[in-house]
Structure 1
Amino acid sequence: MGRYEGMNVVITGGSSGLGLATARLLVGEGARVLVTGRGQDALDAAREQLGGDAVAVRSDASSLSDIDALADHVKAELGTVDALFANAGISGFAPFEATSEQLFDELLTINAKGPYFTVQKLAPLLAEGSGVVLTTSVANVLGLPALSAYAASKAALRSMTRSLARELLPRKVRVNAVSPGPIDTGILEKTMPKEAVEATVAQMAADIPMLRVGTPAEVARAVAFLAFDATYTTGAELAVDGGGSQL
């Protein structure tokens, strides 16, 4: 029997990256996992990878109607939820002087508004003792260049983690955040030439006290800890960043 046998989990943004790695971990330990994503091809691939205990649902975190529909789907498919990983989000790079209103609105809508209403709509389905995990970022504390709007969206999530943790206490639901540093999710390979990827990863690793970038599996283990095992922890943010925001 797996460690999370019989547990129902919802992971938004679960068709790739950190969400998919977390889904793999939990499915492998017996959980029934419902993942969401915006692209049908990626969802189909994730569903195939995860196997029979996983459900893949197309849902856009920027759309309140999609979030409402997701809540209905989760209720019909799972009934109650033991863990919610509100992970759907996007990155956006632009110098402060060149940040457009469109980019600002997109980042705040998907990264902050989306998770907020995802938790709100799924809260009635959360079982007593369940855990909610939000995905913040080391950018919300480091003041990195070209990330001002992105960092603001993640700082909003950090604040929400505390507020929602307090508001969901009467339901005996914990709310925490995982804060990744540089993680090798493979996204750079999709947007850069191989030589540029190698140089970028080397530079990121050199800036980290542990002198390496992290893996999605390392973030997944932190998410699972916050969702299930950190039973006396709520309102906290766990940095998974090789010490980059701490040392």
Structure 2
Amino acid sequence: MTSLPVDSGLWCRRFHPSPAATTRLVCFPHAGGSASFYFPVSAELRGRTDVLAVQYPGRQDRRAEPTIDDLRTLADEVFAALRGWSGLPLTFFGHSMGALVAFEVARRFERVGGGIGHLFVSGRRGPAVPHEERLHLRDDDGIVAAVREMSGTDESLLDDEELVRMMLPALRGDFRAVETYRGEPDAVLRCPITALTGDRDPRAPLDEVREWKAHTSAAFEFKVFPGGHFYLTSRPGDVMDVLKDHFDR
């Protein structure tokens, strides 16, 4: 079982405080995901950088809170929580829904005259790519089937009816947040963006992931790995190598 977080704040989990670090990585979970998804990243980078994982409402220790089903409102709340952590240069990493939240939070930092050093977006098409998804309108069985297709959740968890019931409100709310979000084509960050994806991800076609390039005025990198939507759980070493290389520069 994952250790309890050191940070007791509602929004940020700091599993391995690194007081000597000179940079900070903030990790944003996918739809239905929680801060503990990034516990291995925090463990791997401990001492090298200070890692924070965002905890959205409606899951784990915040399960009693209603899910925020509007992505821009969620970004507003996360931005307010992270402003107190901007004492070190910030790098953001977001997977799937987390990529969009990270992008919107980065925009908010730039609006107040700050900014982040780098944005890593994973498993998500560019924010302004048109899409028509209606997973949040499915019945409970339909949502569970969609999660199975994405292979992002341990199958044994999906076979546990009580756990599934606990997860469904957060999943439905997150899917609604993502599916009703429409990014602005002219929204451009000043920081570099690195887009990562699996080569067999049906929810993030390669040409649509490349569209992130239009949302930075700085450098853009595109990295493709073997795998589907959750390629990063089957090949964690590849993703960690990308992050380590970034922080070693």
Which of the five TM-score ranges fits, normalised by the shorter chain? Answer: 0.3 to 0.5
Query: Is the helix fraction higher in 1 or 2?
Result: 1
Task: Give the TM-score, by structure 1 length.
Answer: 0.46
TM value normalised by structure 2: 0.45
